[in-house]
Amino acid sequence: MQLLDGKATAQDIREELRVAVEQRKSNGQKVPHLAAVLVGNDGGSLTYVNAKVKACEQIGFDSSLIRYEDSVTEDELLAKVHELNNDDEIDGFIVQLPLPEHIDELKVTQAIDPLKDVDGFHPENLGKMVLNLPCFLPATPAGILELLKRNNIETEGKDCVVIGRSNIVGTPLSIMLGRSSNPGNCTVTLTHSRTKNLKEKVSQADIIIAAIGKPGFVTADMVKEGAVVVDVGTTRVPDSTKKSGWALKGDVKFDEVAEKCSFITPVPGGVGPMTIASLMINTLRSMDLRGK
Ligand code: NAP
């Protein structure tokens, strides 16, 4: 078994982006500026946003963090989105999800200018992604593809089972892996909580992508010898041995599955860092898409 080391691969990408930013600077071009909007004090969201800001600093992007209390109204948040859409200094921005229940996430996502939507969640970007037109690709699926590509994992003609059909991971990933590209050209089965004979389907797959949020769901008896296993799940579970009191757990029973598969992503240090790297790639790309 070989580890698909997302942390190391993401570090390579950050270094390439840092060089690209230096190049832009020496050409007298603008440095990309990423803004992140964070509502509330959820520990997970705060960790993700801080990691994004830190990645910007390492690469040399400008970054801004805009924070609101949970009590922010939908109108206030939409006003900020419009302000960021019209601010020429800001090249791309994200609104960290999830948002409090009184705010309509779809409305907020749709209010973001598609040319600044570096998360790739706007319907226009998702539609363009389906048609293989230039767009911002959703960060987690794009990060997974980049991880496979940079580790020379062959996808062409492979049977791939994606577990979980969320709009941000499973569904776009199944489309991206199935289309005629590299990585791609897989025969994809997109599975979910209503799938019959899930275990049987997963156990026939050459490539397994688990994105459900159920720690240890994928066990060794579900995995074919030599399969490639990508674990997207990140669930906080209580762990008294950690200073924080919790540990991050993936959807795959790592120890037993690692013995059977050819490649596997760890949690943490697999898909998570690649998601942030993709966001950074999208932020640099925003300069091209907006002709800057
Ligand atoms: P989600 O919105 O939480 O939805 C979960 C999906 O799993 C749904 O499609 C659900 O099916 C499916 N599911 C649940 N139980 C199942 C079962 N027993 N068998 C088969 N399918 C089942 O998905 P998400 O937002 O993609 O998040 C999934 C996990 O990935 C979470 O742990 C999240 O924290 C993590 N994540 C990590 C990153 C990263 O960068 N590392 C990024 C995004 C998400 P139904 O549709 O039928 O309900």
Q: Is 52 among the residues known to form the active site? A: yes
Q: How many domains in the chain? A: 2
Residues 146 and 267 grouped into a single domain: yes
Residue whose token pair is 């590299």? 182
Taking the centre of ligand 1 as the mean of its atom positions, its distance from the CA of residue 169, in whole angstroms, is 8
Q: Is 128 among the residues known to form the active site? A: no
Residues 169 and 252 grouped into a single domain: yes
In a domain, 8, yes or no: no
Torsion angles phi and psi, residue 145, rounded to 5: -60, -40
Residues 188 and 260 grouped into a single domain: yes
Contact, 55 vs 14, CB < 8 A? Answer: yes
Residues 81 and 148 grouped into a single domain: no
The one catalytic residue in 5, 117, 119, 231 is: 119
In a domain, 177, yes or no: yes
Taking the centre of ligand 1 as the mean of its atom positions, its distance from the CA of residue 43, in whole angstroms, is 19
Question: Could you tell me the two tokens for 248?
Answer: 């991050």
Contact, 155 vs 185, CB < 8 A? Answer: yes
Residues 155 and 245 grouped into a single domain: yes
In a domain, 129, yes or no: no
Residues 66 and 151 grouped into a single domain: no
Contact, 57 vs 14, CB < 8 A? Answer: no
CB of 165 within 6 A of ligand 1: the answer is: yes
Torsion angles phi and psi, residue 105, rounded to 5: -60, -40
In a domain, 124, yes or no: no
DSSP string, 85-123: HH-TT--EEEEPSPPPTTS-HHHHHHHS-GGGBTT--SH
CA dist 277 and 59 (Å) reads 10
Taking only the tens of pLDDT, the chain with its 292 residues reads 999 999 999 999 999 999 999 999 999 999 999 999 999 999 889 999 999 999 999 999 999 999 999 999 999 999 999 999 999 999 999 999 999 999 999 999 999 999 999 999 999 999 999 999 999 999 999 999 999 999 999 999 999 999 999 999 999 999 999 999 999 999 999 999 999 999 999 999 999 999 999 999 999 999 999 999 999 999 999 999 999 999 999 999 999 999 999 999 999 999 999 999 999 999 999 998 888 8
The one catalytic residue in 5, 80, 91, 96 is: 96
> What domain range is 50 assigned to?
28-113
CATH of the domain at 146: 3.40.50.720
Rounded to whole angstroms, what are the CA distances from 84 to 38, 92, 175, 248? 14, 9, 30, 33
Residues 76 and 156 grouped into a single domain: no
In a domain, 62, yes or no: yes
Residues 175 and 94 grouped into a single domain: no
Residues 195 and 251 grouped into a single domain: yes
Residues 205 and 94 grouped into a single domain: no
Indicate the length of the chain as a whole number: 292
In a domain, 121, yes or no: no
In a domain, 122, yes or no: no
CATH of the domain at 99: 3.40.50.10860
Residue whose token pair is 């049987």? 200
First to last CA, the chain: 44
Question: Could you tell me the two tokens for 65?
Answer: 């963090």
